[in-house]
Amino acid sequence: METTAPSKLAALRQAMQQHGIAACLIPSADPHLSEYLPAHWEARAWLSGFTGSAGTLVVTADHAGLWTDSRYFAQAAQQLAGSGIDLMKQRVAHAPEHIEWLLQTLTSGQVLAVAGDSVSLATARNLERRLQAIDARLRTDLDLPGQIWPDRPSLPTAPVTEHPPRFATQPRGDKLARLRTAMRKLGATHHLVSSLDDIAWLTNLRGSDVECNPVFLAHLLVQAEGHATLFVGRGKFTDVLVQSLATDGVRMSDYATVTDALSELGANDRLLLDSSRVVVAVASAIGPNVPLIEAANPSTLFKARKTEPELDHIRDAMRRDGAALARAFRRLEERVNAGMRQTELDVDALLREERSAQPDFVGESFSTIAGYQANGALPHYRATPESHSTLKPQGLLLVDSGGQYLGGTTDITRVLTLGETTAEQRRDSTLVMKGMIALSRARFPKGASGPQLDALARAPLWASGMDYGHGTGHGVGYFLNVHEGPHGIRPPASGATLVPLEPGMITSIEPGLYKPGRHGIRHENLAVVVEADKTEFGEYYAFETLTLCPFDRRALEPGLLNPEERAWLDDYHATVRAALAPLLEDADLAWLERHCAPLA
């Protein structure tokens, strides 16, 4: 068959007609509801040509729409051109979200199809309930995109390895015992875990089935009294690792047999699962008489609260990562100043080269974003060999990058000054910095959640009538996913669960500002929640900044910073200088000293 988006849509519509389907929903999801997907489940990208990580495609007989958020508006508009698919902007005033659009479009008796391995049990229930209100129906037993995908990539087969005990810090037997204690408190005899980062953390195993995320495809079924079964591709494990797992009571079974195991549960078993993190295709195997205990995976909160040994490794990884960035940024600065031709692609290569030279480096934690001038206004921009900009000795370069180390995961954004800047650029950069400092300096009571703090980072921008369309902070894993729940710092949303920020939780702090066609600003550090004080009003927490790399102060307008903000920035740079100086020498050390000098 042809491989253009219109031809794929035509084939999908033909399959829909054969099965009596009025609308097909294609989300960005896999059987583990991951943010980033193995190629086997990138049906939305394959059909539409849109490669952003967030997006939902809806196809009917006479319309196709791709819903995505403001991070991807420009990218989606470009990639969808000529595809026959309309860009449908999410979270825009008076524009319907995809579910509302479907409810307005479908009529009585019509059927909506979505592949059961790409939709959670909770979402499917909600869809069914809302469709019933208009006398429409949901089918999850059809994978229509899969039926028309002739060269669909196979499942990944990369090996699984042990996270070295020195870095894992907690034996997997201890983690499983802690999980079982939580299961018993909830009255569960069994617990199904499908989220890949939870499984990797619980088992002290890592893989490479998902680009930049050290996880592997698996399901895990844990008995409160007995063994645990890991459903995974058997060829991914060495015999030595299989024996090591068996010693800790973890048995192996083929990836596809998880539904067989679930179907064997009976009325005397009580299964704990998170209905928002288990897909319908898996949950449908559970017998109707099996009592379900629906709650968040206990391991999600366990792994979010980093232990002191883990934090020690993370702090060391931050030092190594900061030294690599200093070397890369110094080399880039010298090349641009010397008139050498450098592109956004060269920035990516420099960062990879310097990080790769660091001890215990495994890979990138996400694809580097290096956006020069107007490209920086695209929050998830990515330079490609076919489309990229050449750097000039003027303006701003936004660099968002991260590394995976055996001892931690990093994520950092810096705005570099390549030459002369405008007053507008310096003002905008400083306003974003003011928001970052305000949140970094925050003290907040025990029980406070990210949405309660989000406004601190936006207030300086709001005062000037500006804002940004993404969240201010996301959780970060420990040599795991760079985006990790359950906590986050984002604007309040109706019906959303408020997850308290607790000591040990790591979050990014990354306010931004984006002016299409001109420039983009984002300053980002990672910080960990720490205990701060106890008063007559209760316990108070604060943030300890973990990221160690200077900000380019040439992008700032110091006169817009108040004395407390200037002091914070000078103190931060003094900390960076003390931490990184022992790892640098000669020109790199001189670069560090220059960029960490106090504000004039």
Residue 121, domain CATH: 3.40.350.10
Query: What is the enclosing helix (H) or strand (E) of 510?
Result: none
pLDDT at 72 over 50: yes
Task: With cut-offs at 50, 70 and 90, classify the pLDDT of residue 383.
Answer: confident
Q: What residues are paired with 65 via a beta bridge?
A: 58, 86
User: Could you tell me if residue 193 is inside a domain?
Assistant: yes
CA distances from 17 to 8, 116, 144 (A): 14, 19, 11
Among candidate residues 273, 276, 302, the one with its CA nearest the CA of residue 200: 302
Instruction: Return the DSSP state at 553.
Output: G
- Across the range 489-507, mean pLDDT stands at 93
Do 314 and 205 sit in the same domain of this protein? no
Among candidate residues 205, 212, 219, the one with its CA nearest the CA of residue 168: 205
Token output for 304: 């979010």
- pLDDT, one tens digit per residue, over 18-41 is 999 999 999 999 999 999 999 999
Among candidate residues 402, 337, 344, 333, the one with its CA nearest the CA of residue 375: 344
- Position 182 scores a pLDDT of 98
Token output for 5: 């988006």
Mean pLDDT estimate for the chain: 96
Task: With cut-offs at 50, 70 and 90, classify the pLDDT of residue 234.
Answer: confident
User: Could you tell me if residue 156 is inside a domain?
Assistant: no
Please report how the helices 308-337 and 344-356 are oriented relative to each other, as an axis angle in degrees rounded to 10: 140
pLDDT at 187 over 70: yes
Q: What is the CA radius of gyration of the chain?
A: 25
Do 393 and 294 sit in the same domain of this protein? no
Do 362 and 488 sit in the same domain of this protein? yes
User: Could you tell me if residue 153 is inside a domain?
Assistant: no
Task: With cut-offs at 50, 70 and 90, classify the pLDDT of residue 1.
Answer: very low
pLDDT at 2 over 60: no
Do 231 and 139 sit in the same domain of this protein? no
Token output for 291: 């009592």
User: Could you tell me if residue 367 is inside a domain?
Assistant: yes
Do 313 and 300 sit in the same domain of this protein? no
Q: How many domains would you assign to the chain?
A: 3
Task: With cut-offs at 50, 70 and 90, classify the pLDDT of residue 3.
Answer: confident
Do 386 and 522 sit in the same domain of this protein? yes
**Last residue within a domain, chosen from 147, 171, 203:** 147
Contact 235, 229 (CB under 8 A): no
DSSP labels, 427-489: HHHHHHHHHHHHHHT-EEETT-BHHHHHHHHHHHHHTTT---SS-SEEE--SSS-SSEEEEEE
| Cα(522)–Cα(377) distance, integer angstroms | 9
User: Could you tell me if residue 94 is inside a domain?
Assistant: yes
- Across the range 88-105, mean pLDDT stands at 91
Among candidate residues 454, 483, 482, the one with its CA nearest the CA of residue 469: 454
Token output for 296: 């968040």
Do 275 and 319 sit in the same domain of this protein? no
**Last residue within a domain, chosen from 255, 282, 304:** 304
User: Could you tell me if residue 516 is inside a domain?
Assistant: yes
- Across the range 461-468, mean pLDDT stands at 97
Do 211 and 227 sit in the same domain of this protein? yes
Task: Lowest mean pLDDT of 74-83, 173-182, 301-310, name the range.
Answer: 74-83
Do 364 and 288 sit in the same domain of this protein? no
Do 190 and 65 sit in the same domain of this protein? no
**Last residue within a domain, chosen from 304, 334, 367:** 304
Angle (CA) 546-547-548 rounded to 5° is 115
What is this structure's pTM? 0.95
Do 395 and 496 sit in the same domain of this protein? yes
Do 169 and 238 sit in the same domain of this protein? yes
- pLDDT, one tens digit per residue, over 166-178 is 999 999 999 999 9
- Across the range 503-524, mean pLDDT stands at 97
Instruction: Return the DSSP state at 388.
Output: -
User: Could you tell me if residue 154 is inside a domain?
Assistant: no
Which structural domain range is residue 465 located in? 308-595
- Across the range 259-278, mean pLDDT stands at 98
**CATH label of the domain that carries residue 410:** 3.90.230.10
Contact 71, 380 (CB under 8 A): yes
User: Could you tell me if residue 155 is inside a domain?
Assistant: no
Contact 588, 330 (CB under 8 A): yes
